[in-house]
Amino acid sequence: MFSVGIIGITGYAGVQLAHMVARHHHARLTYAGSHSHAGRKLKDIHPHLASPEGDILLQDDDIQTAAASCDVIFLALPAGIAAGTLNEDILKKTVVIDLGADFRLRDRAVYEAWYKKLAAPSALLEKAVYGLVELHRDEIRNSRLIANPGCYTTCSILSLHPLLKQGLIEPEGIIIDAKSGVSGAGRELSIDTQFCEANESVKAYGVAVHRHTPEIEQELGFARQGGQPVIVQFTPHLIPMDRGILTTCYASLKAGVNASSVAAAYEDAYGKEKFIGMRPSSSLPQTRWVKGSNRCDIGWVIDERTGRIIVVGALDNLVKGAAGQALQNMNVVMGCDEDTGLSASGIFPI
């Protein structure tokens, strides 16, 4: 049994994580950190929660104190806080899994340009591993600082990585059209996520400037032989549903590439992966099939007329896009079976 802390437990990602940790056979939640609600119980903020996680007493959001008593700490905080708070001393005491963006980008200047915040110190960034288990399992196993990827990025990278790794698509002109449920924006109040603003409407936002663009380009660049750059056109949309990400990716196939080489690339990459569901072209991924599960479903179609491949990916932003993926990282780093606490299939909402 090992002890776990969650800082930012009252937010959507944090509370999903609390629910999942409470059902994990080897982990025990011993520190629940909150910025605004210390002294209250978690069920005072989230009344739907049952025991044991609902009865947890919230403490200050003090990572240093949590590190003294926890084997693993999850940070589910707004961008910028982890970068300014973590230090070598904390990492000597505990493993940190950061659900935010502060340790995802290798290049400090890129982080500062897109996030308009001070990047994490280089010495800490060098210790961080990008926590997409399907791509970086061995590095994660030996890391004490894991940068859990974002929800849009997980879906986009997993959808396109095998094609770039095998050199089957042109690295220029890739388009990612992405949609997210409203919980992707977090629980914090904002005009855009109010019912009358989001319901019965669909809108593009962050067009040509969304901060997930460099994260996707970084990991897809690493996929290419020699780590050459990849430029993507990433456009997110807000959809009036609670959870779910759908990405539709368009790329030009290289000359001579056919359906069997594409199928072989995905089989080679994901044939043994428990959390990737390859879907046939007749039944492409839908968000409701992955709701509540840690799966990312992927399906593709080749359009012979345009020479393009269209890859569709779907996941639950709070599970494979955040808390589930964080738990998967914890399982890898703590030596548990990778699917411990993650075996639930999707809830089909009818």
Ligand X SMILES: CC(=O)N[C@@H](CCC(=O)OP(=O)(O)O)C(=O)O
If one asks whether residue 290 binds ligand NDP (CB under 6 A), the answer comes out as no
In the complex, minimum distance from the CB of residue 305 to ligand NDP, in angstroms, rounded to a whole number: 36
If one asks whether residue 249 binds ligand NDP (CB under 6 A), the answer comes out as no
Q: Decide whether 170 or 242 has the Cβ nearer to ligand X.
A: 242
Cα–Cα distances in angstroms (integers) from residue 197 to residues 8, 152, 189, 203, 225, in the given order: 26, 21, 12, 10, 44
- Hey, what amino acid is at 223? A
The catalytically annotated residue of 151, 155, 249, 336 is 151
Calpha distance 220→232 (Å, rounded): 9
Which of 29, 230, 296, 318 is close enough to bind ligand NDP by CB under 6 A? 318
DSSP summary character for residue 316: -
- Binding segment for ligand NDP among 83-91, 171-179, 183-191, 341-349 (CB under 6 A)? 183-191
Residue with tokens 């491949």: 309
By CB under 6 A, the residues from 190 to 229 that bind ligand X are 206
Buried b (16+ CB within 10 A) or exposed e, 5-14: bbbbbbbbbb
Q: Say whether 151 is catalytic.
A: yes
Which of 66, 81, 158, 257 is close enough to bind ligand NDP by CB under 6 A? 81
If one asks whether residue 312 binds ligand X (CB under 6 A), the answer comes out as no
From ligand X, ligand NDP, none, interface partner of 301 (C-beta below 5 to 8 A by class) = none
If one asks whether residue 321 binds ligand NDP (CB under 6 A), the answer comes out as yes
In the complex, minimum distance from the CB of residue 99 to ligand X, in angstroms, rounded to a whole number: 7
Which of 34, 180, 218, 294 is close enough to bind ligand X by CB under 6 A? 180
What do you get for the CA distance between the two ends of the chain, in Å? 37
Calpha distance 141→323 (Å, rounded): 18
If one asks whether residue 236 binds ligand X (CB under 6 A), the answer comes out as yes
- Binding segment for ligand NDP among 132-140, 186-194, 211-219, 297-305 (CB under 6 A)? 186-194
The verdict on whether omega for the bond into residue 280 sits within 30 degrees of 0, i.e. cis, is: no
Can you say how many angstroms the Cα of residue 239 is from the centroid of all Cα atoms in its chain? Answer: 18
Q: For residue 259, with 0-12 CB atoms within 10 Å meaning exposed, 13-18 middle and 19 or more buried, which class applies? A: middle
- Binding segment for ligand X among 29-37, 147-155, 216-224, 284-292 (CB under 6 A)? 147-155
Buried b (16+ CB within 10 A) or exposed e, 26-42: ebebbbbbbeebeeebb
Where on the chain is the footprint of ligand NDP (CB under 6 A)?
Answer: 8, 10-14, 34-37, 61, 76-79, 81, 99-100, 150-151, 183-184, 186-188, 317-318, 321-322
The residues annotated as belonging to the active site are 151
